[in-house]
Amino acid sequence: MSVTLGQRDLSMPVLLAPLAGITDLPFRSLVSGFGAGLVVSEMIASQEMVQGKWAVREKAELGIDAANTSVQLAGRDAHWMAEAARMVAGQGAAVIDINMGCPAKKVVGGYSGSALLRDLDHAQRLIEAVAGAVEVPVTLKTRLGWDADCLNAADLARRAEGAGVAMIVIHGRTRCQFYKGAADWDAIRAVTSAVSVPVIANGDIVDAASAREALRLSGAAGVMIGRGAQGRPWQLARIAAALGTGRAPDVPQGSALSDMVSGHYEAMLDFYGMSLGVRVARKHLGWYMDDAGTPAGLRREILTAADPGAVLARLPEAVGAARQVAA
């Protein structure tokens, strides 16, 4: 099982989904270290980036030029989408992804993300603008449709392929479902049947068993993992190995696990600065401790601590001495 993306051969077609506020550079770097076919940046608003209003990230922080990183753009205006694509491609982006799947009200209210599923002509113009602006591969991430009465992902996929898109990721829910209910992997098959470019299945894929079932039902060429990687940055590599497309990772246990978590914590402090980093890191620490079965009292103590030194001092007990990581 392999996916070709331009001149790139993704021999490990297990990808990390873009998750706002989660798949930042420290986390993507950690996941990449264990092994991933491709990691996708958090969504970037195209116009704000070009106009310099996007105040949080710069080139180095985005990790634009990392070998297996795709930069995801969102927007509603073809001009700004094309300009943003040129900008990140000029900074070294190897792949550019177009977001037409985000269901958040703020994004949809700005006629971006999955709102574009209600106007495929406009969506096509945006795709054509991005694909025509750069030489690097362009991909598309979207959903099954706006709602159960508007399942038009296959139509959008055909238009995207015609515009030059090299790969399509489909989340197996409609926009109006948000993240409720179960992802409909079988419904993705309408998209895989409609195009010849690789289609990647996304939604509720958390382990090898769900990956196999998603591939079987959808006919997809690969899978994209989001929430399944939270607290388990090795999970993409583990799934790839189970699918026969990668080497099984050395999943850290005991002191190796506490060292990895401590390193991730310190990387977030460096990345965001001390004050913001302490707050942002809490969700990741919570997921690590959930996976490790940390006692509730110790978990609460760590998540409420304001002193990074105190957090680092307790992590060996919180995750290093916990149960073995489940397969």
User: Across-strand partners of 319?
Assistant: none
| Helix boundaries (H) for the chain | 25-34, 46-50, 59-62, 78-90, 105-109, 120-133, 153-163, 189-192, 208-218, 235-242, 254-272, 274-292, 296-304, 308-315
Is 227 known as a binding-site position?
Answer: yes
Q: Is 91 annotated as a binding residue?
A: no
Sign of CA dihedral 184, 8, 1, 192: positive
Is residue 150 part of the annotated active site? The answer reads no
* Inter-residue contact 284 to 264 (CB < 8 Å): yes
Radius of gyration of the chain (CA): 19
Q: Which of 102, 200, 241, 251 is catalytic?
A: 102
What the block records as the tokens of 200 is 């990647």
Q: Annotated binding residue at 106?
A: no
* Listed residue (6, 25, 28, 213) closest to 15, CA to CA: 28
Kindly state the tokens that stand for 7. Answer: 């001149």
Which residues, in sequence order, are CB contacts of 34 under 8 Å at separation 6+?
233, 234, 236, 237, 249
The span from the CA of 217 to the CA of 252, in Å, is: 32
Q: Which residue in the block uniquely carries the two structure tokens 């599923």?
A: 117
* Torsion sign across C-alpha atoms 277, 283, 288, 289: positive
> Hey, CA dihedral for 220, 226, 230, 236, is it positive or negative?
positive
DSSP H or E stretch at residue 176: none
Binding-site residues from annotation? 72, 141, 171, 226-227
Binding-site residues from annotation for FMN? 72, 141, 171, 226-227
> Which residues are part of the catalytic machinery?
102
